[in-house]
């Protein structure tokens, strides 16, 4: 995450090489052909073609040097050459776009895709006539995919002192604010900051302020999730996580407060994510002049946060239902598309193959 561009892409190419080795004799290419890769790249790029894109900036805590302003496909192709791999990228795919493609392959009603994992993003299918700058472009379907990069939305969000202090301490202060309020990389850190304040000013854990709790990103979102799942009488799991991660000794009363803090932060994150989905659906409804809410519309979800955090999923769904109302929300199906971005990238790579398909 903090090395050079060459180190990062050599690491990826090495992983691809090991994966190909494990395949053994299950799959072989015709002589002279290279294996084709669908490259899921979940960072903002200026996409110049189906198989090229210039990195605009790193997000999600990455600070790899020498990549911004370069074609990330060329970076990976060069790394695969250095590793001696007979492979090449035939499709560069944003993770949200990959999820949309993968889910829509099976279901024509998929119109939106959202990633909720370490980071977050969303994309949706838009009418070409609703995009002023693309009026000169011709599309056989009359539609295209808009990658919103909604993690970068940073205006008008309800922020607390904990959000502002965390943002100031990141490597990209003032940027990716929506991502910093709803995604998996940051929820645990917000909880940690709240607990530290309560320990220092409200003696949450007794007279001593736990020094280790001052360590940034000490609490991870999986820890927060595990604490929220604890249904034991004495909240033993909560106590264990506080002790093991932060060297904090706690009583049952303090543990109950910790769970409440976790729930508050996760509830806000899930509801903001749900509001984002509703915003996209309302935009599509306006552009189509009423053709979205009157029929089944599927939102494909991928990412570890959404997959593994049941309370987050529930709060997101509740917000969508609340904002749309019970009648309209009946037609909106929010569906988990496991590994959707990778599957979608493979499908798009196959569709853009330089070799003919023998079907």
What is the rounded distance in angstroms from the CA atom of residue 165 to the CA atom of residue 180? 12
> Exposed, middle or buried by CB within 10 Å (0-12, 13-18, 19+), for 19?
exposed
Collapse the DSSP code of 42 into the 3-class scheme (helix H, G, I; strand E, B; otherwise coil) and give the result.
coil
pLDDT of residue 309: 97
CA 72 to chain centre: 19
pLDDT of residue 359: 46
**What residues are annotated to the active site?**
60, 95
H or E segment and range at residue 140: none
pLDDT of residue 236: 96
What is the rounded distance in angstroms from the CA atom of residue 45 to the CA atom of residue 55? 4
Look up tokens 């060069």; give the residue: 78
> Exposed, middle or buried by CB within 10 Å (0-12, 13-18, 19+), for 105?
middle
Phi, psi of 310 (to 5 degrees): -60, -40
Nearest residue to 96 via CA among 308, 280, 341: 341
Phi, psi of 131 (to 5 degrees): -115, 95
Please say whether the beta carbons of 125 and 111 come within 8 A. yes
pLDDT of residue 97: 94
Residues (pLDDT < 70) of the chain are 24, 357-359
pLDDT of residue 357: 63
pLDDT of residue 358: 57
What is the rounded distance in angstroms from the CA atom of residue 121 to the CA atom of residue 206? 40
Neighbours of 43 (CB within 10 A): 22
Quickly list DSSP for 189-215.
HHHHHHHHHHHHHH-TTSSS--GGGGS
Instruction: Please list, residue by residue across 164-195, b when 16 or more beta carbons sit within 10 angstroms of its beta carbon and e when fewer do.
Output: eebbeebebeeebbbbbbbbbbbbbbbbbbbb
Longest dimension (CA), the chain: 72
Quickly list DSSP for 63-120.
--BT-TTSBHHHHHHHHHHHTT--EEEEEEE-HHHHHHHHHHHH-TTEEEEEEESSSE
Nearest residue to 302 via CA among 78, 114, 48: 114
């Amino acid at each position: 995450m903090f090395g050079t561009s060459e180190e990062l892409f050599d690491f990826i190419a090495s992983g691809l090489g090991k994966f190909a080795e494990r395949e053994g004799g299950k799959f072989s290419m015709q002589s002279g052909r290279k294996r084709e890769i669908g490259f899921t790249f979940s960072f903002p790029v200026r996409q110049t073609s189906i198989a090229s894109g210039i990195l605009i900036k790193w997000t999600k805590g990455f600070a790899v040097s020498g990549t911004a302003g370069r074609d990330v496909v060329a970076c990976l192709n060069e790394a695969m050459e250095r590793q001696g791999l007979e492979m090449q990228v035939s499709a560069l795919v944003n993770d949200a776009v990959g999820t949309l493609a993968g889910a829509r392959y099976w279901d024509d009603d998929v119109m939106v895709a959202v990633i909720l994992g370490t980071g977050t993003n969303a994309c949706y299918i838009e009418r070409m006539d609703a995009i002023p700058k693309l009026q000169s472009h011709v599309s056989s379907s009359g539609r295209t995919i808009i990658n919103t990069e909604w993690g970068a939305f940073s205006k008008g969000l309800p922020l607390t002192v904990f959000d502002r202090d965390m943002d100031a301490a990141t490597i990209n202060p003032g940027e990716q604010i929506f991502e910093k309020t709803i995604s998996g990389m940051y929820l645990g850190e917000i909880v940690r900051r709240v607990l530290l304040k309560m320990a220092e000013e409200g003696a949450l854990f007794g007279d001593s302020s736990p020094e280790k709790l001052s360590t940034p990103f000490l609490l991870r979102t999986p820890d927060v999730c595990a604490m929220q799942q604890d249904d034991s009488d004495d909240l033993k799991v909560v106590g264990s996580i506080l002790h093991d991660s932060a060297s904090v000794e706690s009583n049952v009363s303090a543990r109950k407060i910790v769970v409440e803090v976790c729930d508050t932060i996760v509830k806000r994150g899930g509801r903001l994510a749900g509001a984002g989905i509703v915003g996209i659906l309302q935009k599509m409804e306006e552009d189509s002049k009423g053709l979205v809410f009157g029929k089944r519309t599927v939102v494909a979800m991928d990412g570890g946060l959404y997959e593994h955090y049941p309370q987050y999923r529930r709060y997101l769904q509740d917000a969508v239902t609340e904002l749309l109302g019970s009648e309209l929300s009946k037609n909106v199906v929010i569906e988990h598309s496991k590994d959707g971005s990778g599957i979608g990238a493979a499908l798009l790579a196959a569709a853009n193959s330089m070799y003919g398909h023998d079907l």
